[in-house]
């Protein structure tokens, strides 16, 4: 008896028709050409972002300006790949692609938000100096007398999202005033105030405890302007005696004592990265 022929499916033009998964192991996804590049090689803009310099978009502008060198040669072509043994320099400094770190600090009073201070005052970096070996930076600012949540990272992409106004990052402050806030002034604030650098309209404002204690107010806004909360109340003749940032980009102070820091969870990190 003759051997039975194997049937090969064909299309209407009599060409061999591939079956799903034919030619590769079952369940194995088709590999794109761009994915075949070894994972150790990454684009130069991502390298700059991973080194904590800036976001990828900003990195593109830096690269095009001729400020980046790879192995001693200026590189201006976007999309250039960097390998693990390549030497990347920016501003005369040799960069290092680091593991991304995300540190949340409950800042106490009396520390300024800067990496270095020429007057040798205490900075927030003193509080997180043992948090990780990577070089991290504070995202945004809290003035010296303001307490509460402050994030540190070396992820340039996330830092950019958290500081750019278009992303509308939510910030909630607990405000202590020198005198009760009147309902009339509260309405003025929520309707928007014209300050020296433009109009500011908070998202929400309310008394914290009850209407019997109108010196404590909760105010939510997404502006990143300098001293914005204090200036809002000073504009109406109030003095802020204490200011505490209790929520920042969905992060809270729960189980984080004043002056202490903690690493963000994977869930929290993913939420920050999904900011649009």
- DSSP bridge partners of 219: 173, 205
Q: Which two tokens stand for residue 110?
A: 């009396």
Q: Which of 11, 35, 143, 155 is catalytic?
A: 143
CA atoms within 13 A on the CB side of 114: 11
- Backbone torsion region of residue 124, taken as left when φ is above 0, otherwise alpha when ψ lies between -120 and 50, otherwise beta: alpha
Residue in this structure with the two tokens 């993913």, named with its chain if needed: 270
Joined tokens for residue 263: 């690493």
Cα(17)–Cα(206) distance, integer angstroms: 67
In the annotation, is 143 catalytic? yes
Q: How would you classify the pairing of strands 240-248 and 216-221? A: unpaired
Instruction: List Cα–Cα distances, 265 to 139, 162, 226, 256, 271, in angstroms.
Output: 17, 17, 29, 14, 10
DSSP assignment string, 91-157: TTEE-------EEEEEEPTT-BSSS--TT---BGGGTSTTS-SS--EESS---TTEEEEEEEES-HH
Nearest to 274 by CA among 246, 250, 245, 247: 250
Q: How many residues does the chain have?
A: 276
Q: Check if the beta carbon of residue 45 is closer than 8 Å to that of residue 56.
A: yes
Contact between 167 and 159 under an 8 Å Cβ cutoff? The reply is no
CA distance 17 to 9: 5
d(CA 122, CA 98): 26
Active site members? 143
């Amino acid at each position: 008896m003759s051997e039975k022929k194997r049937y090969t499916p064909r299309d209407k033009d009599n060409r061999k028709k591939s079956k799903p998964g034919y030619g590769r192991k079952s369940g194995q996804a088709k590999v794109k050409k761009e994915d075949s590049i070894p994972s150790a090689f990454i684009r130069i803009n991502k390298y700059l972002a991973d080194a904590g310099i800036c976001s990828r978009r900003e990195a593109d502008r830096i690269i095009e300006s001729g400020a980046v060198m790879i192995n001693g040669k200026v590189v201006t072509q976007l999309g250039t790949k960097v390998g693990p043994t390549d030497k990347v320099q920016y501003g005369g400094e040799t960069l290092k692609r680091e593991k991304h770190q995300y540190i949340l600090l409950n800042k106490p009073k009396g520390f300024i938000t800067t990496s270095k201070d020429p007057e040798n005052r205490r900075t927030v970096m003193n509080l997180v100096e043992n948090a990780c070996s990577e070089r991290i930076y504070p995202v945004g600012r809290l003035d010296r007398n303001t307490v509460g949540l402050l994030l540190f990272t070396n992820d340039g992409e996330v830092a950019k999202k958290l500081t750019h106004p278009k992303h509308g990052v939510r910030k909630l402050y607990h405000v202590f005033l020198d005198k009760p806030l009147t309902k009339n002034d509260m309405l003025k604030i929520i309707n928007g105030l014209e300050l020296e650098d433009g109009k500011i309209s908070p998202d929400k404002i309310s008394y914290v405890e009850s209407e019997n204690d109108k010196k404590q107010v909760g105010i939510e806004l997404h502006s990143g302007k300098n001293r914005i909360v204090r200036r809002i109340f000073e504009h109406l003749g109030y003095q802020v005696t204490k200011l505490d940032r209790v929520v920042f980009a969905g992060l809270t102070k729960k189980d984080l004592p004043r002056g202490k820091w903690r690493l963000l969870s994977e869930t929290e990190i993913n939420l920050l990265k999904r900011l649009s």
